[in-house]
Each structure stands twice: as C-alpha cells, then as structure tokens.
Amino acid sequence: NAGVMQNPRHLVRRRGQEARLRCSPMKGHSHVYWYRQLPEEGLKFMVYLQKENIIDESGMPKERFSAEFPKEGPSILRIQQVVRGDSAAYFCASSPPTAGMNTEAFFGQGTRLTVV
C-alpha cells in the first residue's frame, strides 16, 4: 500500500506563472488536507477536501489559490500568478472516511515550490 504520493517533489516557477501541485491519497482514503510550511515555520492548515467537495478552506489565501479533489484522479492545489512569498513546502495528508475518529492523517513527502 503506497503512502500519500505528491508530485512533483520540487517545482520552480517564475513570478507570474502558475503552479499545480498533485496529491494522490493512500488507497481507501477519501479525505485530503493541504498544509503549507513556510521556511523555518511549522505547518499551517490550508484546506480540507473530500471527493468533489471542499469541506473547509479557512486557511487558503483569498486570491490566486484553489484546490480540488475530483471524483477520479489526484487532488490538485493550484496557485495562479505565483509570487516569491509563495515559496514554501506544500504538504498533503490523507485519512480514511472515519476521519473524525481516526488517530492519524498520513502525510506525503511534500512539494517544495521555489518562485524565482
């Protein structure tokens, strides 16, 4: 059973370009979470999705950021018109449908975005 798979591991974008980060949850997991880790900081919650639904996006910046988790395929975190301040590690986590009672969300290896 493969773990949470994120790709790419490293992504370099010029200012103004778009960044698309992908996350494939663990098999059997239908809940996906995105977190951002700025340099020298802890992880900050961004968004929680279930298949085809955004459950909570209270941690998402109001502009340029969007997330989806379609019925088929991976979850995508999309950042439009990237700026240098978007440079960070973006982590995806997944958990099974009994998320409320579950003890653990499993994290991927992260995508390190560098904006030049």
Partner 1 sequence: GEDVEQSLFLSVREGDSSVINCTYTDSSSTYLYWYKQEPGAGLQLLTYIFSNMDMKQDQRLTVLLNKKDKHLSLRIADTQTGDSAIYFCAERIVGGFKTIFGAGTRLFVKA
Positions touching partner 1 (CB under 8 A) are 31, 33, 35, 40-45, 48, 55-56, 91, 93, 99-101, 103-110, 112
Min dist. Cβ of residue 56 to partner 1 (A):
7
Nearest approach, Cβ of 98 to partner 1 (angstroms)?
11
Which is closer to partner 1, CB of 19 or CB of 48? 48
**Cα–Cα distance measured from residue 30 to residue 82, given in angstroms and rounded to the nearest whole number:** 29
Nearer to partner 1, 80 or 93 (CB): 93
Output 80-84 pairs: Cβ under 8 A, ≥24 positions apart: 80/18, 81/16, 81/17, 81/18, 82/13, 82/14, 82/15, 82/16, 82/17, 82/18, 82/19, 82/113, 82/115, 83/15, 83/115, 84/15, 84/115, 84/116
Residue 25 vs 110, nearer CB to partner 1: 110
Closest approach of partner 1 to the CB of residue 52, in Å: 17
Closer to partner 1 at the Cβ: 9 or 15? Answer: 9
